[in-house]
Amino acid sequence: MAEFSIIDRYFKKNIVQQQDVILGIGDDSALISPPLHQQLVVCTDTLVSGRHFPVDTSAHAIGWKSVAVNLSDIAAMGAKPHSILLALTLPAIDHEWLESFCQGLFDCCAPYQVDLIGGDTTQGPHLTITVTAMGWVESGQAITRSGAQVGDYIVVSGQLGDAAFALAHPNHPLRQRLDYPTPRCELGQQLVSLASSMIDISDGLCQDLSHILQASHVGADIYLESLPIDSALHDLPLTEQWQYALAGGDDYELCFTISPQHYEKLCQLTTSPAFTVIGQIQSKLGLNFMHHQQKQMLDLRGYQHFA
Ligand code: ADP
Ligand code: MG
């Protein structure tokens, strides 16, 4: 089956929902009418089989995750997701696989009204999926990594460490959290003009929070007893729980900094999805771990210290 029949059969059948998509799949490029007073937010992420997901991951989950990780980056800027491009490299044509891959991809797009508006389909030695996501944010309102202020709370959405635990225990029910991360698109947009900085957690909290600290020229205290960790992990030794929650990766939760006053406002605005204060920004550079007010020295695998 030629490239064109695959495009027609699997990708062109999706009906573009948004009126500002003037041209979707089928021409040399897609065409979008940008809304007034908005900035385009754009990001891309590649998933390689065996590297970014276990080889036994279902086609449906791969389709979902390839969209979710990108929408998570859009959410982390405070932007509203709009559309995606899909560059797909397939070792062979497997119709059953393509059918459920597309289903997973569209299932992740649907709740956020995101349209697939183009892409590229090629044959190659390894299954590789690159999604490019686009979104809009009010001009000048994007939430970057560089705005954290001394005294701000450090807050995370959802739970930490579920996906890393599932990677080590592939048959555990938490596998769902590894295969089907939830991009926090609504929360991200609600944080515009409230959060001072934001990032999404893909490489583990410490790694990703340290990007905020470096960009903002500040340090942080982390309260280990406050980390939102699933009850399935509570029987593990504390250091192992912290390892998953702080350095695990693949969480796709939001980590943001917010002044105590703005945090009050946020709590009045929404409490869903759950979010938790896990620390506070300090002027002293570096990352401090506290457990019930006692300083803890942690040696986290996969976490590179700085400062
Ligand atoms: P070109 O040769 O001009 O690059 P293609 O033949 O690659 O165009 O693609 C034809 C149309 O199909 C384009 O609109 C392109 O965006 C779309 N397309 C190709 N592959 C995909 C895909 N995997 N997902 C969505 N759209 C795709
Ligand atoms: Mg092409």
DSSP letters for 220-257: EEEEGGG----GGGTTS-HHHHHHHHHH-----EEEEE
Q: 101: Cβ below 6 Å to ligand 1? A: no
Distance between Cα 123 and ligand 1 center (Å): 13
pLDDT digits (tens, 9 = 90+) for 136-158: 999 999 999 999 999 999 999 99
Predicted local confidence at residue 306, as pLDDT: 43
Give the lowest-confidence range in 2-11, 167-176, 220-229.
2-11
Pick the ligand that lies closest to the CA of residue 119: 1
Average pLDDT, the chain: 95
Ligand 2 (single-atom ion) residues, CB below 5 Å: 120
The band of 301, judged by pLDDT with boundaries at 50, 70 and 90, is confident
Distance between Cα 86 and ligand 2 center (Å): 11
**Candidate of 114, 121, 128 to mutate for ligand 1, largest count of ligand atoms within 8 Å of Cβ:** 121
Residue 93 has pLDDT above 60, yes or no: yes
Give the lowest-confidence range in 10-19, 41-50, 93-102, 113-122.
10-19
212, 280 Cβ separation under 8 angstroms: no
Pick the ligand that lies closest to the CA of residue 121: 1
Predicted TM-score (pTM) of the model is: 0.95
What sign for the dihedral angle of Cα 200, 201, 202, 205? positive
Q: Which residue reads 């280990």 in tokens?
A: 224
Structure tokens at 222: 């982390």
| Closest listed residue to residue 307, CA positions, set 158, 176, 206 | 206
Atom of ligand 1 nearest to the CA of 120: 20
| Closest listed residue to residue 41, CA positions, set 69, 72, 74 | 74
Average pLDDT over residues 242-263: 97
Atom of ligand 1 nearest to the CA of 4: 6
Predicted local confidence at residue 303, as pLDDT: 54
Q: Which carries the bigger pLDDT value, residue 39 or residue 15?
A: 39
Predicted local confidence at residue 1, as pLDDT: 58
Predicted local confidence at residue 183, as pLDDT: 98
**Candidate of 4, 7, 12, 62 to mutate for ligand 1, largest count of ligand atoms within 8 Å of Cβ:** 7
Predicted local confidence at residue 299, as pLDDT: 84
| Closest listed residue to residue 176, CA positions, set 60, 95, 28, 47 | 60
Domains annotated for the chain, with CATH where assigned, are 3-138 (3.30.1330.10), 153-296 (3.90.650.10)
Predicted local confidence at residue 305, as pLDDT: 47
Average pLDDT over residues 54-77: 97
Tell me what percent of the residues of the chain surpass a pLDDT of 70: 98
Other CB atoms within 10 A of residue 29 CB = 9
Give the lowest-confidence range in 49-58, 82-91, 115-124, 211-220.
49-58
**DSSP class of 284:** S
211, 278 Cβ separation under 8 angstroms: no
Q: 98: Cβ below 6 Å to ligand 1? A: no
Tell me the CA distances in angstroms from 156 to 18, 180, 287, one per residue in order: 31, 18, 16
Q: Rounded to whole angstroms, how far apart are CA atoms 260 and 271?
A: 15
Tell me the CA distances in angstroms from 7 to 26, 82, 101, 119, one per residue in order: 9, 21, 13, 9
Average pLDDT over residues 39-63: 95
Distance between Cα 36 and ligand 1 center (Å): 28
Atom of ligand 1 nearest to the CA of 118: 16
- Helix or strand run (H / E) with residue 85: strand 80-90
Predicted local confidence at residue 302, as pLDDT: 63
Residue 227 has pLDDT above 60, yes or no: yes
The band of 307, judged by pLDDT with boundaries at 50, 70 and 90, is very low
Distance between Cα 262 and ligand 2 center (Å): 47
Q: Compute the 3-state secondary structure of the chain and give helix, strand, coil in percent, each to the nearest 5.
A: 35, 30, 40
CA distance between the termini of the chain = 55
Other CB atoms within 10 A of residue 284 CB = 11
- Beta strand segments in 127-226, E: 128-138, 153-157, 195-201, 219-223
Distance between Cα 120 and ligand 2 center (Å): 5
